[in-house]
Structure formats: structure tokens, C-alpha cells
Structure 1
Amino acid sequence: MTMIAPMRTLGGQGLLLTGILLIASTLRAPITGVAPMLGMISETSGISAAEAGILTTLPLLAFAAISPVAAVLGREWGIERSLFGALLVIAAGIALRSSGPVWALFAGTATIGAGIAVGNVLLPSLLKRDFPTRIASLTGAYAITSALAQALASVVAIPLAQIPGSNWHLSLASTLIFPLVALIAWAPHLGAHSAPTVELASSPHRGRIWHSLLAWQVTGFLGLTSLVFYIIVGWLPAILVQASYPAATAGTLHGVLQLATALPGLILGPMVRRMKDQRGIAIAVSLATCVSLLGLWQCPSLAMLWVALFGFGAGAAFILGLTFVSLRTSHSHQAAALSGMAQCLGYSLAAAGPPLAGLAHDATGGWEVALACCAVATVLMAVLGRSAGRAATI
């Protein structure tokens, strides 16, 4: 049995899609937009570089902790209401993080991560429920929206902080626009709450998910994708500055990376629909990401090329991972359970990445070890993608 979706007119579906895309704009920009300012935050707040790096890790820990709970919220309160609550939490976290005290910087960052975790889990389930024949194209569309929001946040971060009389607090506060607009757009859908059936409320499929080899393969693919992505997103400005790029240029290239993650969404949806399985494309985007990392390591003078290639490859892998969550499951409740499992374990793995990369840098004085380890991880992604991409369901 599946959750009964409310009947919607064509106009209602358009409003729903608009709301979905605006929610997508909030799911990365508030955290990835911090990376260009880590050096500035360290200098002005008195926190160490290692403590600043924790700002990248805290949301991932929140993702891991909250993701399993998100599916429960969706069952008990409905997907629509749960997503509205998630937007409120994200907005509150951004406001707290920007308020001034150092403790608020960390507490607000963790709060943002908790809200984003709910959105990460429930959006794929919503697509599975209301748009079962358009999963790939709509996953691509909300990945594009998320990437555009990330690029905007990264590009404007340093200029906003450098406005006379301003500082990094304004840059952090500027991302509040994303959840506020999404809240306005999503409010009409609160009345569309549909209660789950008794069978779904008892969550009979959650245990089966954890015993499925295919579920573990999807989880591994998403986990390694997240690990590599957040290491590079968190430390790319520092990597480029050490390669003699000015801070402003490093921030711009960080925005280019975010923008490049949007490109796969334009082409991947139609491609996936025509494929009998996704094994070939999963291997290809994993290896493209590997090439970009090796290029950034060995030839940083071509950083624009490598950053764009990394964004394209990692963005495509992320879209594929989200698509696997829907394509490898039978209904929306199972999709929510797999999404919760994949994001709980995946983000637990990813959370270790930025601190370990920072420790490797401190130990060696360079980023070579971190980049090499990320390249190895992309090879493992290709192996898992070959399994997760086969035409099968849990």
C-alpha cells in the first residue's frame, strides 16, 4: 500500500513544483556558502582554524542524527507539514548563527543542519508519491535550483562581508532569504496533508531496508559522493589560496563549482529515462570526478577546468544517488526509509571528511594527501555505482 496523495489540479501541481524547487534552494546554500569566509571568521572571532572547520562538519553530523527521524515525522505529521517545519528550523538556525556570539555561530549551524536533514529525506519521498513518472527530471530540476542557490551564496559571500561597515555576519544572514521565500510558497500546501495508512504508520519496511544489499550499495554510493563533495566544498578556497590564488578569486571559483553542479540536472533527467539501468553513467561520473581531483592536485594552474569538472561530476553523482533512492524502491514510504538510511550513514561518513582533510594538511603542510584520498574514494564510488545502478528494486 502507498500513501494516498491529495488530488491536485494542473495549477495546483505547478504551485507544488514551485514550492519543491524553493525548498531545494535552502538545502545546501546556508552551509556551503560559509566556506569562502572560514578564514575571515577565524581571524575576527578568535576561533582556531580547526574550530572553523567544525562549521563544515556540524551540519553533516546533524544530517546523520536527524535523517532517521525525518521519515517518522513524515509518517506522523505528513510530508507537507514536516517540510514546513523544516523550513522554520532552517530560518531560525540562520538567524541564530548570524546573531553575533561564537556559541550562536555553532549552535545555529547545527540547527540549520537539523532542518536541512528533514528536507533531504522527505523531498525524494514527495516526488515518489506525487510524481512517480517524472522522478529523474524533477530530481534534476531541484538539484539545479539547489546548485544555483549555492553558487549565488558563494559568489556574494566575500563582497557582502567587505562592504564598509559590514562583516561576515551579514554574509551569513543573507542566506535567510532562501527559507523565507520557500515558507511563503509552501504555506498553501499545509492543507494538503494526507494521513498515512495504519500499515504505513507501523513502518513495516524500515527493518527490511537495513537488510537489503541493494540498499547498502545505494547508501555507499551516496555516502562516498557526500564525503568527497563536502571535503572539496569545505576546503577548496584554502586549497586555491595555497596554490597562490587571491581570496576573492578562490571565492569566485567556489561559486563556479556550485554552479557546475547544476549542469547535470539539465541533461541527466532525459538520459536516465532512456536508460534500462544507470550503471554506465554512474561509473562515468565517478571517474570524471576522479580526473578533476587528480588535475587539481597535479596542475592547479588549470583550476577553473578542474573545479568545473568536479562540480559537474559530483553534481551528477549526487543526482544519481537521489534518483537511486526513488528508482530502487517500490513506494514513497520505502523511499523515505531508504533515504533516511542512506543519509544517516552517508553523512556520518561525510562528517569525518573535512576534519581529517584538515589534519592531513596540518601534518603535511599541503593538500596532496587529502586530494589523493578523495580520488581513491571516487574509484570506490564507481564500483558501488555499478551495483546500485542496476535495474532492480528492494
Structure 2
Amino acid sequence: MTTDASPNPRRIALFLLLMVLVGLNLRPALSSLAPLLLRIKADTGLTPLAIGALTTLPVLCLGIFAPLAPWLAKRTGPENALALALGGLILGLFLRGMPAVALLFVGTLLVGAAIGIAGTLLPALVKRELPGGADLMTGVYTMALCLGGALGAGLSIPLANLLGGWRFSLVSWGLLAGIALLAWITLMPRSPRQATATPTGGSMRQLLGQPLAWQVMLLMGTQSSLAYIVFGWLPTLLQARGYSESEAGWLMGASVMVQLISALGAPWLARFSRDQRPALLLVLGCVGAGLWLLLQAGEAWRWPGVVLLGLGQGGSFSLALTLIVLRTANSRLAGKLSGLAQGGGYTLAAMGPLGVGVLLQLEVSMTTMTSVLLLIVAVAAGFALLAGRNLRLDVDASGRLTTR
């Protein structure tokens, strides 16, 4: 693919369509698991700690495998690398539905690896295809992620009831991934790889020496930790408060659906200023308020809590991804920062679901659980104050990476 001054409108429209279709597949494999955890536990006999590991494993794999995306893209081309990731996602979804409990974990591992690679490739592709509007297009991509997450959470129980079990419910999402893979392979516009002139300089070692890169990564990690705690444990926490299995799943699904609004709107909000700190603090405040209302307030406050949590999480994730393109000068640096931010960030984020599993094993009170979650929100806000500043990673005339 090449980027020029007069991009082809048809090419842009096709790329956006494919980007949305791929994005729809990068969350159902995660969000569809949470509403089914009690059924999985009852059917397999797994302990709460093992169930916690099951929710942590895909997030950990997001972090471990995300840094491989730039390496894989360099050797096979980003289009082929993304196709391989979608193929791995389909295989992982299939394995999760097999009778052996070990394959449930293996499939979950493969799902996390595939999503980690695909999710890292897309921001760099957006930066390259649409450099002038990369931040807004990242919002569209995040909206697709949120819609996929909402569908996974909301349809998980109905699919299990319709298809005759939780295994079939998990496997069924492979159909959507298959459609995305077929569309990507047949419709993706391609250009000779050598036609793209990539600037030199800005190695990963230099990137690791830039505080701004670490700040973006730590923001990604802390806000993602909250997101994957919600994906992995919110239905269980709501059921502990007395909600039914189905209602808990739909409350989480509704919250993820609300994320569509802020996922698309947050990048527009961020554009009003070159400093994204006010926007980041606003959405993180919504996350904190939503969690408190859902876990501490009365039942009458559950829907305001759902809305606030959804607005906050959709906006914080969209802005965190947007910072990857706003804080870099070109697509090559965006790809490297994407690998670092999502790789290190998701590795850090994996500690969130595991920590909640440990707390549930220890049978802590809901007040203690809520306090821990609000502490994570506060830490994320601290990193937002650093990563949200008007700075950018660029390569100087001598080929060295600098922050300007």
C-alpha cells in the first residue's frame, strides 16, 4: 500500500469496510467467555483460581504476542500477517469448543495470540493508509471493537441456549472470523511492498529510551486492565450482587454497546486541543463512577452505572489507541509504538483479571473489590496526565529518535 497526496476514495472506503469487519472479530472471543464462566465452572469443575487463569490467559497473550506483529509484518507484509492472525483466531475458537479441558486453555491461548497480533497491526495500517485522519479512523476501528465486544457479551447466553451448550456458543464466533478472513484475502487492496518508502531510524532500543513511549504503554496497560476485568468478571460480580445469569450478561453487553458512542466521539473530543489530558481524565472519571454505581449503589442505579462505565471505557480505550498515532510522526514509528504499547500494556493488563480471581478466591467483600478497582482508575489517571501531553516521537536528521 502506498500513501499519496490524492488517495483513491474507493480504496479508502474498501479499507475502512475491511477494518471494521476485522475489528468486529477482535473482542467477541474475549467478551463471550465471561457470561459463561459459571456454566464452564459447573461443567468442568475448575476452581475460581483456574477460571481466573482462563480469563487472564488471552489478555497475557495479547501482551506477549503483540510485539511479534511488526516482525511478522516485515517478513510477510502486513496484509498477509493480518490474514495469518485471523486464521489463528479461527483455529483457537474451534479448539475452545473441544471436550478436553486442556484444549479450552490451548484455544484461549491461541485466540489471545491472534488478537494481539491483529490488534497491533491495524493502527499502523490506519496511520499509513489515512495519515491525515488516522486519529478519527482509529475511533471508527475502536467502535467496531466495542460493537464486537457487545455482541459477544449479549449473545453468549442466548447462543448457548440455542445451540445446546457453552462449547457451541464459543465455537460459533468462528463463523464471523471466517467471513472476515475471506473478505480480507479477496478484497484487500495491495501494492508492491517495495513501493512504500519507510524512513530509517527509531529502533526499538531507542524507543525504550523515550519516557513518552513508556507513558503511553502504562496508560494502555492500566486502562486495559479495567477493560479486561469487566470482560472477564463483571457478570460474575453482578451475579454476586443478586442479578440473574442472563441479566448480568445483558448488563455487561449493554455497557459495551454504550462504548460505541464514546469510542467514535472521543477522538473528535481530543481534536479540540493538542493536549488530550482533559479528555482522558473525563472518560476515566466515568469509568470510576460507573464501577461504583454497579458494585455499590442500589439496583435502581444499575443503568446509570452501565451508561457511565460504557462511556468511560469506550472513550479511554479509543483515546489510548489514538495516542499511538498522535504521538508518532510516521507509520513505521506508529507500528513500533503500537507493538510496545499493546505488548507491554496488555501484559500489565493481564494482572487485572488474575488479581480479581485471587480476590474472589479469598472471598473479599464487594467494598474491598470496588476499592481495588477504583485504585486502578486512579493510577490510570496519573499516567494519562503524562501521556496526554502535546508531545510526539520523531526521527531527527541524524537518524536518532527524539521527543518533540
Q: Structures share a fold, TM > 0.5?
A: yes
Give the whole-Å Cα distance in 2 for the aligned partners of 1:147 and 1:201. 33
Partner residue of 2:254 out of 253, 256, 277: 256
Following superposition, the deviation at residue 4 of structure 1 comes to 4.4
- Distance, in Å, in 2 between the alignment partners of 1:117 and 1:332 is 18
Give the counterpart letter for 2:15 in structure 1.
Answer: L
| 1:35 paired to 2:31 | no
Aligned position for 1:87: 86
The 8 Å contact of residues 360 and 367 in structure 1, kept in 2 or not, is answered as: no
* Further displaced range: 202-211 or 288-297: 202-211
* Letter of the structure 2 residue corresponding to residue 149 of structure 1: G
Distance 1:203 1:98, change over 3 A: farther
State the distance in 1 between where 2:343 and 2:261 align. 27
- The answer (yes or no) to whether the contact 2:48–2:361 under 8 Å persists in 1 is no
1:214 lines up with 2:245 in the alignment: no
Q: Name 1:319's counterpart in structure 2.
A: 318
Other-structure match for 1:292: 290
Structure 1 residue 304, shift from structure 2 partner: 2.1
Q: 1:201 to 1:131 in 2, by over 3 A?
A: closer
TM-score for the superposition, normalised by structure 2? 0.91
1:149 match: 148
Distance in 1 between residues matched to 2:186 and 2:91, nearest whole Å: 21
Compared CA separation, residues 75 and 241, structure 1 to 2 (3 A) = same
Task: Specify whether residues 108 and 208 from structure 1 end up closer, same or farther in structure 2 by C-alpha distance, changes over 3 A only.
Answer: same
Q: For the residues of structure 1 that align with 2:200 and 2:390, how far apart are their CA atoms?
A: 28
Q: Measured at CA, do residues 345 and 370 of structure 1 come closer, stay the same or move farther in structure 2, by a change above 3 Å?
A: farther
User: Hey, what does 1:173 align to over in structure 2?
Assistant: 171
Q: How many residue pairs are counted as aligned between the two chains? A: 391
1:107 — aligned with what? 106
CA–CA distance in 2 between the matches of 1:99 and 1:289? Answer: 36
Shift of 1:319: 0.4
The answer to whether the Cα contact below 8 Å between 1:4 and 1:196 also exists between their aligned partners in 2 is no
Output the CA distance in 1 between the equivalents of 2:387 and 2:219. Answer: 7
- SS of the residue corresponding to residue 374 of structure 1 reads helix
Partner of residue 236 from structure 1, selected from 212, 234, 237: 234
What code does the residue aligned with 2:229 have?
A: I
| Cα deviation, residue 314, structure 1 | 1.3
Using the aligned pairs only, state the percent identity. 31
Q: Closer, same or farther in 2 for the Cα pair 1:176/1:109, shift >3 Å?
A: same
Q: Please give the residue correspondences for 1:10-29 in structure 2 after superposition, counting only pairs within 5 Å.
A: 10-29=9-28
CA distance in 1 between partners of 2:237 and 2:197 (Å)? 51
Task: Write out aligned runs for 1:270-281 (5 A).
Answer: 270-281=268-279
- 8 Å CA contact 2:26–2:148 kept in 1: the answer is no
Residue in 2 that maps onto 1:336: 335
Q: Structure 1: how far apart are the matches of 2:369 and 2:201?
A: 40
Contact 2:60-2:347 at 8 Å conserved across structures = yes
SS in 2 for 1:262: helix
* Contact 2:229/2:353 (<8 A) preserved: yes
* 1:273-306 Cα distance to aligned partner (Å, 9 max, x none): 3322211101111122112222233214222221
- The Cα shift of 1:9 comes to 2.9
Unaligned ranges ≥5, structure 2: 394-404
For residues 168 and 289 of structure 1, do their structure 2 counterparts lie closer, same or farther at Cα, with a shift above 3 Å needed?
same
Q: Is the 8 A contact 1:284 1:382 kept in 2?
A: no
Contact 2:49 2:357 in 1 (8 A): yes
Aligned to 1:139: 138
Q: Aligned AA for 2:243?
A: Y
Q: Which residue is equivalent to 1:75? A: 74
Q: How does 1:195-206 map to 2 (within 5 A)?
A: 195=193, 204-206=202-204
Q: Per-residue deviation at 1:391?
A: 1.4
Report which stretch shifted further, 69-78 or 202-211.
Answer: 202-211
State the AA in 1 paired with 2:367. E
SS in 2 for 1:286: helix
Which amino acid in 1 is paired with 2:183? A
Moved more, 195-204 or 171-180: 195-204
Match of 2:96 in 1: 97
| 6-15 or 124-133: bigger deviation | 6-15
Match of 2:224 among 216, 226, 229: 226
Name 1:267's counterpart in structure 2.
265
Kept in 2, the 8 Å contact 1:283–1:381? The answer is: no
Tell me if structure 2 keeps the 8 A contact 1:76–1:201. Answer: no
1:127 maps to 126
Instruction: Tell me how large the CA RMSD over aligned residues is.
Output: 2.1
Could you state the TM-score of these two structures normalised by the residue count of structure 1? 0.93
> How far has the Cα of 1:361 moved from its partner?
2.2
